Amino acid sequence: MISLSDLPLVNASLNSVALLLLLTGYAMIRSDRRDAHRRCMLAAFGVSMLFLVSYLTYRLAGAEKKFGGTGWIRPVYFFILITHVVLAATVPILASRTLYLGLRGRWEQHRRWARIAFPVWVYVSVTGVLVYVLLFRIYGPVG
């Protein structure tokens, strides 16, 4: 059974899987393998939705951790965290719109949206894992 304290690791794992699917999907479209690209991107979207449910469950349960790092890493951590949170708020909109356009075969619009959505989604996935590592593995939470 998964406990509330397991959810940060679950969330980081889901972010890692989403990142791998995004990069694989990108490689598939670059090699003109559209069906494989579609499957990867749909899977990345599904994994990201699972992440969102898990993350909201963790946050709504009131679980909050304060960063324990001091010195130069503190402003670095908060820069990563703030940019992660701000951009993460855009991913559901960007990804949904890009996915919708791709599934409708509106390729030009899909490409335009994907040029924005893809790097943002990748950044959010990478920084999500980085925040987990910094907060829970390297520096540990306070309290």
d(CA 61, CA 33): 42
Q: Mean per-residue pLDDT for 24-47?
A: 98
Look at the chain and report how many structural domains it folds into: 1
The domain spanning residue 130 has which CATH number? 1.20.120.80
Question: No. of H helices and E strands in the chain?
Answer: 5, 2
pLDDT band at 140 (very low <50, low <70, confident <90, very high): confident
In the predicted structure, residue 143 carries a pLDDT above the cut 90: no
E strand or H helix that includes residue 66: strand 66-67
Q: What is the dihedral of CA 98, 103, 104, 109, to 10 degrees?
A: 30
Residue 79 has pLDDT above 80, yes or no: yes
Per-residue pLDDT at 65 exceeds 90: no
Residue 124 contacts residue 82 (beta carbons within 8 Å): no
Q: What residues make up the domain containing 90?
A: 4-142
Q: Predicted confidence band at 71 (pLDDT cuts at 50, 70, 90)?
A: very high
What pLDDT was estimated at residue 62? 74
C-alpha span between 18 and 15 (Å, rounded)? 5
Instruction: Tell me the average pLDDT of the chain.
Output: 95
Residue 1 has a pLDDT of 86
pLDDT score of 49: 96
Section 104-124 average pLDDT: 98
pTM: predicted TM-score of the whole model, two decimal places: 0.94
Q: What is the mean pLDDT of residues 41-57?
A: 96
